[in-house]
Amino acid sequence: MPELNPVVQQRRLRAELRKARESAGLTQAQVSDEMDWSISKVIRIETGAVRLSITDLRGLLQLYGVEDRDSIAELVEMGKASRKRAWWDDYREVLGEGMIKYIGLESSASFIRQFQDDVLPGQLQTADYARAILDVFNTDAEMAEQKMEVRIKRQSVLDPVAGMKFVFILEEAVLRRPFGGPEVMKAQLERVREIGRQPNVTINLLPFSVGAHAGLRTSSFAVLEFPGDDQDHVAALDRAGIGLILQDNVEEVSQFVEAFVQLEEISVPFEELEVVIDRVISELG
């Protein structure tokens, strides 16, 4: 398998196991009885809340009547890949489970749509701007530096060579909300300009003049798409006091896709965003 990202492999594996269970005509309750597991364990396996041991995986495949050797070998390989460590696992205690999963998904996505109404997306942030945001939350110095390391590593996905495409929509307030002082903001705005000129990145502006819009209902969010047809889209929402929420329910994710399309229709192109950048830099002195 060319893609051994553990988060992606776990999503693929849980989808295949759910399909195999349904093909076998078994309910989750019946599986728990047959495997002598709690019903919560079965549910957590199918939702990706726990990692599945290879022994348990083989037991499930036997229960589901999966006999094709190639299929079994592929699923076992998925299981092994889903248990491997990735670079972001070193930051699990600093970031939390939700962000760890998001980074894994982000690193294997093919297309990311992101709307921001509060601060600039992490992929676009300079180190000084990011530190200024962390200061607002009184982040411990050591933890702040670790989070900075993660931001820098995450930004590698912006490289056109990586083959990913991005569309960002930024509220005008995001460009005007100062963090870290005038010089930090000037450098940050130039960074936005630089990234916006890349062939794989589109950055649109949602000016104050648009008035009420769909983003007021959703707040900041991202929608991730993946290569191939075997993975559903994922929506990510960062909520104060709650943390990062990942949603892969098809109906709910479709609502965020629709909201993004609506925002895209009323946003203005990068050329007009650059005009605002020039204006804000001038105002900063």
Helices marked H in the chain — which ranges? Answer: 6-23, 28-35, 39-47, 54-63, 69-82, 92-95, 97-106, 127-136, 141-154, 172-176, 182-196, 215-218, 250-266, 270-284
Q: Which domains does the chain show, CATH number per domain?
A: 6-82 (1.10.260.40), 92-284 (3.30.870)
214 and 274 Cβ atoms separated by less than 8 Å = no
Total-model pTM: 0.82
| Mean pLDDT over the full length of the chain | 91
Neighbours of 51 (CB within 10 A): 14
One-letter-per-residue 3-state SS of 197-224 = CCCCEEEEEECHHHCCCCHHHHCCEEEE
DSSP output for 208-276: GGG-S-THHHH-SEEEEE-SSSSS--EEEEEETTTEEEEE--HHHHHHHHHHHHHHHHHSB-HHHHHHH
Question: Any bridge partners for residue 171, and if so which?
Answer: 206
**Distance (Å, whole) CA 58 – CA 127:** 46
User: What is the reported pLDDT for 74?
Assistant: 94
Residue in the structure block whose two tokens are 């945001």 = 133
Of 165-174, 202-211, 227-236, least confident by mean pLDDT is 227-236
218 and 158 Cβ atoms separated by less than 8 Å = no
User: What is the reported pLDDT for 174?
Assistant: 97
**Distance (Å, whole) CA 147 – CA 104:** 16
**Segment 177-189 mean pLDDT:** 96
User: What is the reported pLDDT for 229?
Assistant: 64
User: What is the reported pLDDT for 243?
Assistant: 67
pLDDT tens-digit readout, 56-106? 999 999 999 999 999 999 999 999 998 888 899 999 999 888 888 899 999
User: What is the reported pLDDT for 1?
Assistant: 38
Neighbours of 223 (CB within 10 A): 22
pLDDT tens-digit readout, 190-226? 999 999 999 999 999 999 999 999 999 999 999 999 8
